[in-house]
Structure 1
Amino acid sequence: MTLQQQLLLDLQLDQPPTLENFVAGANAELIARLRILTDHHHFDAVYLWGPAGCGKSHLLAATANAADAKRPVIFLPVEKVGADVTVASGGLLVIDEIQKLDEEGQRALFRLFNTARFLGLALLLSGTEPPMQLALREDLRTRIGQMLIYEIHRLSDEEKAAALAHHAQLRGMLMDPGVVQYLLRHGRRDLPSLMHMLESLDRISLAQHRPLTVPLVRELMQTTLDTDLS
């Protein structure tokens, strides 16, 4: 495999989600609250909500990763939530997309709410709607409504552009100012992927001794798309 092929492959990879590589924007209070979940070994309950693409899954995975060395962590796909779920005292249970829970999963999560305080268990849940709009059984929606609730606020394109430009400046990148706007129009919409793409493009431009310009980015992204389709 050539160097360019390796870099093009790298261009398609996502960064591991961390709380550090999630640009907070208007979500600074939420990020600070999630850091508490990674350290404390007592009962806690946090619910995140927002539309697809706002960063819910990133934040849940990042919190689980950060907590893993400090407390028992179970990150369950929503289809795995059932009567056989066992959690350790002082642990952290993370469930994404709870609006998809089936009847068995809803019963299991309700039972976990009933025992969480006695076990010192922390719950971190996410969904696409605020609690009272979830299509779940009433008693479960009520319990979720008693959690700490955070709506995830999306970054504006201006905030993303500023974050990308600052990231490029910190790395000492030399690039056409239009590159950031091109990535915002044609790249992945989440900021960690955009930053990772920018870093990969910078490495390719250095390896090819070509300036990081919009034509180069267009060429490399088209090559990557052709590779995916072949």
Structure 2
Amino acid sequence: MPEQLAFQLPVRTALGRGDFFVSGANVLAVQRLDDTATWTNGKLALIGPEGAGKTHLAHVWAEQQKAEITDTASLPDLDIPGLKAALAIEVPGTALSTTEEEALFHLHNHMASQKLPLLLIARTPPARWTLTLPDLKSRMTATDVVQIDAPDEALLSAVLVKLFTDRQLQIDPTLIAYLVTHSDRSFAAITRLVAALDAAALAQKRPITRPLARRVLDNLDKDAR
């Protein structure tokens, strides 16, 4: 394998359908987003842990639906009555402000009245969100939920390859298998691992090899203690 040179290159996240790897952990989510006709009252909450691929899958869906993606902080400035297409909203794990809750309530009613699909993207189900507006809470609690599950080895391997590709790094396939075996089995953990490997290779001006990966993994373990 040609020697990999370490350059500080921009991270370019690939968000196309061809870049999304389907496995047993997310196949149900993919199926539900592919068929908005199955969504109760035209809305669906896509939930899962950090780095699970929720935003990526939402971008795939948005492209198919000619929809836009926004977040709750932007809702108060959104022209809700003027919306005429599907919409995806990223919901933070923190409590919403009063104006955000009111805007989400009006958005929900508008999308329902216009029969436009509404996708909510969050880490937890709507029933567990901290909401103070009773009418909004009842509507959110009644939302259909689909979850991206904990990753299997095939999905972890694919996500690792994608994360390295986003950073324009070419990695030996045998190293991918080593990282899957020795890293924490979560999307958040492998995201941090790839960032740490990239930084270490850049700092040491050397390719990402198994010895380097072993040292980075050891350091990550120590930091986690």
Which category describes the TM-score, using the shorter chain as reference length?
0.5 to 0.7
Gaps of 5+ in 1: 168-172, 202-210, 222-230
Distance 1:99 1:212 in 2: 34
Alignment TM-score, normalising by the size of structure 2: 0.63
Residue 93 of structure 1 aligns with which residue? 87
Aligned with 1:133 (options 124, 128, 148): 128
> Do the aligned partners of 2:89 and 2:119 also contact (CA within 8 Å) in 1?
yes
CA-CA distance at 1:98 after TM superposition: 4.7
1:120-154 Cα shifts (integer Å, max 9, x gaps): 22111122222221101332222122222112212
Alignment TM-score, normalising by the size of structure 1: 0.61
Aligned with 1:119 (options 104, 114, 120): 114
Aligned with 1:77 (options 71, 75, 78): 71
Aligned with 2:177 (options 161, 180, 194): 180
Distance 1:9 1:35, change over 3 A: farther
> Do the aligned partners of 1:98 and 1:125 also contact (CA within 8 Å) in 2?
no
Q: How does 1:1-230 map to 2 (within 5 A)?
A: 8-9=7-8, 13-24=11-22, 25-37=24-36, 44-68=42-66, 73-82=67-76, 84-86=78-80, 88=82, 90-100=84-94, 101-137=96-132, 138-156=134-152, 158-160=153-155, 163=158, 175=172, 177-182=174-179, 190=187, 214=210
RMSD: 4.2
Distance 1:13 1:185, change over 3 A: farther
CA-CA distance at 1:59 after TM superposition: 2.2
Distance 1:82 1:179, change over 3 A: closer
Q: Which amino acid aligns with 1:75?
A: I
Distance 2:159 2:53 in 1: 17
Gaps of 5+ in 2: 163-169, 199-206, 217-225
Distance 1:60 1:35 in 2: 11
Distance 1:176 1:93 in 2: 38
Distance 1:186 1:122, change over 3 A: same
> Do the aligned partners of 1:45 and 1:122 also contact (CA within 8 Å) in 2?
yes
Provide the secondary structure at the position in 1 that maps to 2:146.
Answer: strand
Distance 1:98 1:120, change over 3 A: farther
CA-CA distance at 1:30 after TM superposition: 1.3
Residue 219 of structure 2 aligns with which residue? none
CA-CA distance at 1:99 after TM superposition: 4.4
Q: Percent identity?
A: 22
> Do the aligned partners of 2:50 and 2:187 also contact (CA within 8 Å) in 1?
no
Residue 228 of structure 1 aligns with which residue? none
Residue-pair matches, total: 187
Distance 1:111 1:8, change over 3 A: same
Distance 1:112 1:159, change over 3 A: same
